[in-house]
Structure formats: C-alpha cells, structure tokens
Amino acid sequence: MAHALPSLLLVDDEPHSLAAMRMALEDDFDILTAQSADEASALMEEHFVQVIFCDQRMPGRTGVEFLCEVRDRWPDTVRIIITGYTETNDMIAAINDAGIYQFLTKPWHPDQFLMTAKNAADLFRLSRDHDRMSLEMRYLSRSVESKLETQRKALREGLGFEKVLRAPNSPLNAVIEQARQFASFDVPVLICGEAGTGKAAIARAMHYSSLRSDRPFFELCCTSVDDDLLEIELFGAKRGALAGAQTNKLGLLQKADRGTLFINGISDLSPRLQLALMRFAKTGSFRPLGAHEVQRSDVRLITGSNLDLREEVSGGRFRADLYYAIGQITLAVPPLRERLGDLPILAQSLLFDAANAHGKPVQGLSDDVLEFLETYDWPGNLRELENEMVRMLIFSQDPILGPELISRHILQASPNPDGPAPAVDAVLTGSGTLKDRVEHIEMRILRETLTRLKWNKSRAAAELGLSRVGLRAKIDRYGIAEPVRAGAKDEREE
C-alpha cells in the first residue's frame, strides 16, 4: 500500500526563492507555500504540516518570531530556518528561542536542501512513533486513580457528562447512565432523537469519558450538505483531485485517527456515501477522492439520526449492513416536551450563556416565564429554547426577565396540567364543536395579549377592539388569572 507524501511548508517573501525550494522538493513532498508569517499561520490552521522551512528576514514578523509561535501551537512540527546572513549569535539565540531543529544558509545546494528535508521528515515520524508507544505504555500502566483523575479533569473542563444539563429526576438520567457504561467500550454507538435534543453533547461526553479522551474529537453534520462536499470532508482528496489544490486534503477520518468522529444526520447520506462509510465501518479502510491507494484509520464512530433507522432500513432508504455496523449500541434521547422538568435549569443556563456571549448581564427568569415555557411543546427542542432565550435577552430591560418578552406563539399555548398544549393548527383541524374550538383559540389570544402588555387592560382592550367591560367579562369567563407580582399596582386598569 502506497503511503502519502510528507507535508512541508515553505515560507519566504521572495517568489523566486519559493519556486527554487519547491523545485528541489516537490517530487518527495506535498508542498505548501506562504510569503509571510501571517499567511503561514493561516495554512497551519488548515493543514497537517510535518516540516517547516522559513526564511529569517521577512516583512512583518521574522522567521524566528513565527517559529516561536509554531513551537507553542504546533510543537510536533519540525522547524528549520533559512538565513542569508552570517549572524551566528542571532542564529544560536533563534535555536534556543524557537526550538529550531536546524538552520541553512544561502545559497544552499539542492541536494543538501533535499537531504535536510528528508532528515526532518524522518525525525517527525520517529517522534510520532515514540509518542504513540509512550501513549500505549501509559494506557497499559495507568492505575485506577489516574483514570479517575483524567475523568475528573474532563468534567472540570466541561467536556464530560456533567455538561449535559438535566434535573435530578430527569428522564434523560437513564440515557446518560447507559452512555457512561458504553463510553469505555470501543464500539460504535448510534444516538437517535429529534433534531436539537443534544445528541452531539452526549457524543462528546462519551469521547471524553473513553480511553480515547487524549485524542481528537470531530463532528460532522450531514443534514442539507452537498454530496460531493461531504465526500471530501469525510474521506479527503488526493493532490490534484480538486481544482487549484496543490496538496492532499485531509478528511475527518484521517484527522480523527485514534480519536472519535461523530457523524450527525447520518440518515441523510446518499446511497453512494452509505456504501463507502459501510466499508470503513467494517474494515477501517477508505479511499480519498482521486486516490488509487487505500488508507486505514483507527476511528471510533458515533452517529446521530433524527429518524428511526430501522424504519429507514425497512423502507429501503438506508443500507441494512451500515445500520448493523454503526448500531451495535443504540441510545434514544427524549425530546424536550418529554422532559419539561429539565426546562428551568436548561432555560436559565442558556440565558446566562447568551448573556455572557453578548455582554448583557441579567439575573434570571421570573417564575411566570417558566410557567409559560412549560406549557409549550418545543418542536425545535433545545435549539428553539436557545433561540428564545437569546431573543428575550435582546429585548429585556430589567435584570429579571418577565413573560411579556416571550414570543407570541409560546404565550398562546394554554395551561395544561397534563402536558404541553396542542399547537393552534392542531386545534383548528382537530375535533370538537365550532363553538368550543373558537373559544379555545380566543382564550389563547386573550392570555397572550394580556401577558405581552403586562396586564394593562386598557391597552389590551384597545388592541383587541373590545371595551374594558367586555374584556373583563371574557377574562372572568375563561378564568384567566393574572400572575401575582410583588409591587403590583392597580394603575394597569387605566
């Protein structure tokens, strides 16, 4: 099996120097080029670079300054500096400051340049092999105490199951307990649940509670993504397979090697990509776009689906062999409407997250707000709740957010002790007499208008085209109760 060429970054502000270096190395390396330190940093963000050759004298940051950044952010990359000046003391300082492997002086000979590059690539490979062996030994010899400490560290950093917010008696607790048990077993897991129920957070927590927690976690959402883009993002592409691409494009299966990849919306994969992913799930091998050779990667697959994949298999829309390959373990995440007891802690947490993100401090939500939120069925689940908290934060004027800020369609959900009220459309198309259904809608409109206008009955009557006497009669008829608030005044009648 052919191996991918080592990747190498050349940094020099002179185009002819870059061209000469590329010519000396391009047969043996995948080459990236940059004409400034800032451009090189951007390339490092996007590519897996093994070796860097960097000119010392450049406009802006010098080579030493850039390689100091590389040492801090990408310490595994082998760093080599090129200088046309005989500033020996400066170069010795550079080697110390930036951890530089070697420096070359201009003019250099092509054979010398190529040999230096090959030696640097060998050093990178040997260092990685040493790290891998050290990691394997560390796992073999790790004591129970150190395992617990690793898990505690992940929890402290907000990466574990404590990140999945829920009440003490939440229906989600049973799912989380199952996920904890499955996390340490290196088997694929399928997480099912409606969109926005928090499948990605559970997948991330499983990764950071597994023996792969020191390795990378990546997430890919397949929903509404072009098939060709998904193939490249997942499997990568060989140099020349994409227009204008001069290097190999690493796919997530390669980036996540020895780590975890969470593929959400897997039911949206095309039949062609289902077949390719099935082969990887069974053999651990895949073929990047445009490549002839097969590559291998050790990735734990966790997948998410908004649909019941068993029904998709029965309907011929999803491959049975892929379903059985990825679904050795299945977790079912309940929707928000089935865990409304979690809503207070979720709403307050999402509100405070939004307040921190937007720099607008608040103290929380009033009890009236939570009452309204708990009577709504939340078809968009946590995403819809997050959007609602951001919207309320933007319009808020007081440190405690009141129900007048809630979106109208949520305010129109009537109180129902047995659970969320049906949507307005369900009332319109449901059963019952015309009189009962009209009154049900009228009651919701009255309640929403009064709440939005902070129970100013004069304003509500004017907006609804009623007299104040008529409005009071309807309030009494439907038994709509005004929330009791500290400091409430009777001026709202006026």
* CATH number given to 150-334: 3.40.50.300
Q: Are 320 and 280 in contact (CB under 8 A)?
A: no
pLDDT at 489: 45
Q: Which residues pair with 192 in a beta bridge?
A: 305, 332
What pLDDT is stored for residue 5 in this prediction?
A: 83
pLDDT at 333: 95
What is the rounded distance in angstroms from the CA atom of residue 87 to the CA atom of residue 83?
9
pLDDT, residue 148, reads 57
> Is residue 113 predicted with pLDDT exceeding 80?
yes
- Other Cβ atoms less than 10 A from the Cβ of 355: the count is 18
**What is the C-alpha separation between 427 and 425, in angstroms, rounded?**
5
pTM of the model: 0.59
- For 256-301, write each residue's pLDDT tens digit: 999 999 999 999 999 999 999 999 999 999 988 888 888 899 999 9
Instruction: Specify the fold of 338-493.
Output: Helicase, Ruva Protein; domain 3 (1.10.8)
Looking at the predicted structure, is the pLDDT value of residue 216 above 70?
yes
pLDDT range class, residue 127, cuts 50, 70, 90: confident
pLDDT of residue 462: 76
How many other C-beta atoms are found inside a 10 Å radius of the C-beta of residue 59?
Answer: 9
Q: Does 484 have pLDDT greater than 80?
A: no
- The set of residues, in sequence order, having a beta carbon less than 8 Å from that of 42 and lying 6+ positions away, is 34
What confidence tens digit (pLDDT) does each residue in 352-376 have?
A: 889 988 998 888 888 888 888 888 8
Question: Which helix (H) or strand (E) covers residue 478, if one does?
Answer: helix 468-478
Q: Is the pLDDT of residue 414 over 70?
A: no
36-47 pLDDT per residue, tens: 999 999 999 888
- Beta strand pairing status for 30-34 and 51-55? unpaired
pLDDT band with cut points at 50, 70 and 90 for residue 417 = very low
Q: With contact defined as beta carbons under 8 Å apart, do 442 and 433 qualify?
A: no
The pLDDT of 404-422, averaged and rounded, is: 67
Q: Which two tokens stand for residue 330?
A: 């299945």
Cα-Cα end-to-end distance for the chain: 84
Q: Parse the chain into domains and list their residue ranges.
A: 7-136, 150-334, 338-493
- Counting residues of the chain whose pLDDT is more than 70, the rounded percentage is 81
pLDDT at 466: 77
Q: Which fold has domain 7-136?
A: Rossmann fold (3.40.50)
Mean local confidence (pLDDT), 101-113: 80
Inform me whether the pLDDT recorded for 346 exceeds 60.
Answer: yes
pLDDT at 88: 55
- At residue 458 the predicted structure's pLDDT band, cuts being 50, 70 and 90, is confident
Residue 427 has pLDDT above 60, yes or no: no
Say if 150-334 and 338-493 have the same CATH topology. Answer: no
Q: How far apart are CA 381 and CA 306, in angstroms?
A: 12
377's CB contacts (< 8 A; 6+ apart) are 337, 413, 419, 420, 421, 422, 423
CB 24 within 8 A of CB 1: no
The mean pLDDT of 312-337, rounded to a whole number, is: 93
Residues 6+ apart with CB under 8 A from 482: 450, 455
pLDDT at 487: 41
Question: Are 247 and 287 a contacting pair, CB within 8 Å?
Answer: no
